[in-house]
Amino acid sequence: LQKQSLVEKDRQNVWHHISPYSKESSPMIVEEGKGSWITDHEGNRYLDGMSGLWCVNVGYGREELAQAAYEQVKKMAYTPMTQSHVPAIQLAEKLNEMLDDEYMIFYSNSGSDANEVAFKIARQYHQQNGDTNRYKILSRYRAYHGSSMGALSATGQALRKYKYEPLSSGFLHVAPPDNYRKPEGISVEQYNLQKAKEIEETIIWEQKETIAAVIMEPLITGGGVLIPDPVYVEEVERICKRHGVLLIIDEVICGFGRTGKSFGHKHFNIKPDMITMAKGLTSAYLPLSVTAVRKDIYESFKSNEDNSHFRHVNTFGGNPAACAVALKNIEIMERENLVDRSVELGERLLNGLDELKDYGYVGDIRGVGLIAGIEIVEDKLTKEPGSKERVGKLIADCKDRGLIIGKNGDTVAGYNNILTLSPPLSSTDEDIDFIISVLRKVFSENEA
């Protein structure tokens, strides 16, 4: 009875993110987590194959992280970042060690916050340099950069936006490379260079003196696991430099080992002007985000002139307990070599999934580090995106067998046909084998 009433109370009082309850579905009320597994209020256990999008990279139930938060709250629970505190200083130093010592660390709470900060810094930076008309932010379709008005404006997914317009002005989008759907008769490298060229053309057509920054993830995660060829990202950086445009790299999902490097941009030979990071900082245990800003950009904010202040205050940003948890989280990642594990487990996963390619409705399987996407199609030749029903059934069947996976894709075109897999980086080999075995069973049962 008590358990039933929990569902009822939730239904009556909690407005959930994205979707309200449908008549048929009852909410999953999660009570506990350990490693890669979560348990709901009815005692059902699931492997959380989606946790990577929330970046619970070190897995659930880490005593050490709870302890770090407890100790810090007891000692000093709150200090605004107009002042400073020891965990914030230590964490900034640690991040700089990971980023090769080139950045100043600005703290906020969420990925959306961190991107908003980056946009404001980009605009003010150009103004201070006398470039008073550089305000436009260029991003890609299919990318997700957050839910607050600026970050939503940078997001390139129509379904998330169209009921909330008008959004912030000065945000532009171009298409990202989608190597699975590239035109025939052109190499992946040529196609990626062409896509980078489209960014340059947009900058020129918009009048380059109006463009403040380009923002992009190292790979588009939430929009369908779109992994670019390195020439793309490196060419985009050259284009930005050529036209005086700042390059912001959104590491909110890719940062902290997800792609098999400490940061996703380290797959490429680039030095971003700003780097935003969030949930992976604390493995999502507590809210914290960072906008890392190149020191030479920071220099132009440093004079004592009142008009050079960066006017942005965030009450909870850089919360001491969150910073203490982030430090401990990074320590765990290093101690357990989770970046290397990301590569090993990712290879194990992709090898295990390889045989699914033979199913008529599997168009593509791709991944890097421990994030993978399975693109479901109706027809391998035409690449018609998998129907909502087909994708929904595969996800529901996985859940029935104890595996939670997600879906994403191209909401601009209105389809969500890419199954997404991103279990914790602390997963065991057996966890990965469980994911593979569930997917093999579910795919074979849905052979038609």
Binding stretches for ligand PMP (CB under 6 A): 110-112, 115, 144-147, 217, 221-222, 250, 252-253, 278-279
Are the CB atoms for 157 and 144 separated by under 8 Å? yes
What are the residues whose beta carbons fall under 8 Å from the beta carbon of 154, sequence distance 6 or more?
115, 119, 137, 139, 143, 145, 146, 171, 215
Closer residue to ligand PMP in complex, CB, 170/287: 287
What are the Cα distances from residue 263, in Å, to 195, 270, 442?
A: 23, 12, 33
Minimum distance, C-beta of residue 287 to ligand PMP, in the bound complex (Å): 7
> Which SS3 state, helix, strand or coil, does residue 417 take?
strand
Minimum distance, C-beta of residue 305 to ligand PMP, in the bound complex (Å): 32
Closer residue to ligand PMP in complex, CB, 157/356: 157
Q: Roughly how many angstroms between the first and final C-alpha of the chain, as a whole number?
A: 41
Closer residue to ligand PMP in complex, CB, 246/439: 246
Closer residue to ligand PMP in complex, CB, 217/273: 217
What are the residues whose beta carbons fall under 8 Å from the beta carbon of 103, sequence distance 6 or more?
95, 96, 275, 292, 293, 294, 295
Minimum distance, C-beta of residue 252 to ligand PMP, in the bound complex (Å): 4
> Which SS3 state, helix, strand or coil, does residue 65 take?
helix
SS3 helix, strand, coil % of the chain, rounded to 5? 40, 20, 40
Minimum distance, C-beta of residue 404 to ligand PMP, in the bound complex (Å): 16
Q: Strand order of the sheet with strand 171-174? A: 103-108, 289-294, 274-277, 246-250, 211-216, 136-140, 171-174
Q: What are phi and psi of 149, to 5 degrees?
A: -55, -45
Closer residue to ligand PMP in complex, CB, 86/149: 149
Closer residue to ligand PMP in complex, CB, 272/363: 272
Closer residue to ligand PMP in complex, CB, 62/279: 279
Minimum distance, C-beta of residue 430 to ligand PMP, in the bound complex (Å): 28
CA-CA distance, 216 to 142, in Å (whole number)? 11
Minimum distance, C-beta of residue 255 to ligand PMP, in the bound complex (Å): 9
Helix axes 338-353, 320-335, angle to 10 degrees: 70
Minimum distance, C-beta of residue 146 to ligand PMP, in the bound complex (Å): 4
Minimum distance, C-beta of residue 145 to ligand PMP, in the bound complex (Å): 5
Minimum distance, C-beta of residue 367 to ligand PMP, in the bound complex (Å): 17
What are the Cα distances from residue 389, in Å, to 166, 220, 408, 416?
A: 32, 24, 14, 11
Closer residue to ligand PMP in complex, CB, 312/441: 312
Q: What are phi and psi of 78, to 5 degrees?
A: -150, 135
Closer residue to ligand PMP in complex, CB, 36/276: 276
C-alpha dihedral, 7 to 8 to 12 to 16, nearest 10°: 20
Minimum distance, C-beta of residue 114 to ligand PMP, in the bound complex (Å): 8
Are the CB atoms for 378 and 384 separated by under 8 Å? yes
CA-CA distance, 302 to 246, in Å (whole number)? 19
CA 70 to chain CA mean position, Å: 28
Structure tokens at 21: 């309850």
- Cβ-closest residue to ligand PMP? 111
Closer residue to ligand PMP in complex, CB, 233/362: 233
